[in-house]
Amino acid sequence: MVGQAGEKSGVVWNMLLKNEDATIKLAAKLAEYARAGDAILLSGPLGAGKSLFARAFLRAFCQMPQLEVPSPTYTLVQSYEAPLCAVSHFDLWRLGSPDELEELGWDEARDGVVLVEWPQRLEDWLPDDALALEIDVLPEGQRRVRISGWEERLKKADMAEDGAAI
């Protein structure tokens, strides 16, 4: 069961992302393991790197390194076609209430991959099988990310504690 902001029990990886390149590499690595029906929840304060992660994930998952990825801050959702399935990027910062998710096509989007910034706004709609990333900004400008979920899939991944292998 998912708790607050997508926190899951079970295996947790804690990683130090030393720079933007490390965040991009992590997103690309996780895109390799994503499949239809997945939800990826990105939480953290403003400026933590959620949008950077989302752009890198979308480019990798869609196999389009130059893909234009505008922020869905005002539209709330942006959808993309990828070779495996559709992927929808939700930014719920401006979501008025979870009741609006139906109008945004949440149920249809769940057939593909959903990438969600500000997942705590999902409230009761929070998927219990999601991959949750909680990003914190450290005083030195580095990022610490706590990753939980997808336990069986990520056992095979090279998930280094310091992000060095990412």
Q: How many domains does the chain have?
A: 1
How does DSSP classify residue 77? E
Residue 73's domain spans which residues?
A: 36-151
Q: Residue 140's domain is classified under what CATH number?
A: 3.40.50.300
H/E segment holding residue 87: strand 86-91
Domain membership flag for residue 134: yes
Domain membership flag for residue 164: no
Closest CA to 133 of 122, 151, 121, 149: 149
Domain membership flag for residue 45: yes
Q: Looking at mean pLDDT, say which of 82-86, 138-142, 154-158 comes out highest.
A: 82-86
Structure tokens at 94: 């401006």
Domain membership flag for residue 25: no
With a CB cutoff of 8 Å and minimum separation 6, the contacts of 53 are: 23, 26, 27, 42, 133, 135
Which pLDDT tens digit goes with each residue over 2-30?
Answer: 333 444 445 688 999 999 999 999 999 99
How does DSSP classify residue 157? S
Domain membership flag for residue 166: no
Amino acid letter, residue 48: A
Domain membership flag for residue 9: no
Q: What is the pLDDT of residue 9?
A: 47
State pTM to two decimals.
0.86
Q: Mean pLDDT, the chain, as a whole number?
A: 86
Q: What is the pLDDT of residue 62?
A: 96
Domain membership flag for residue 13: no
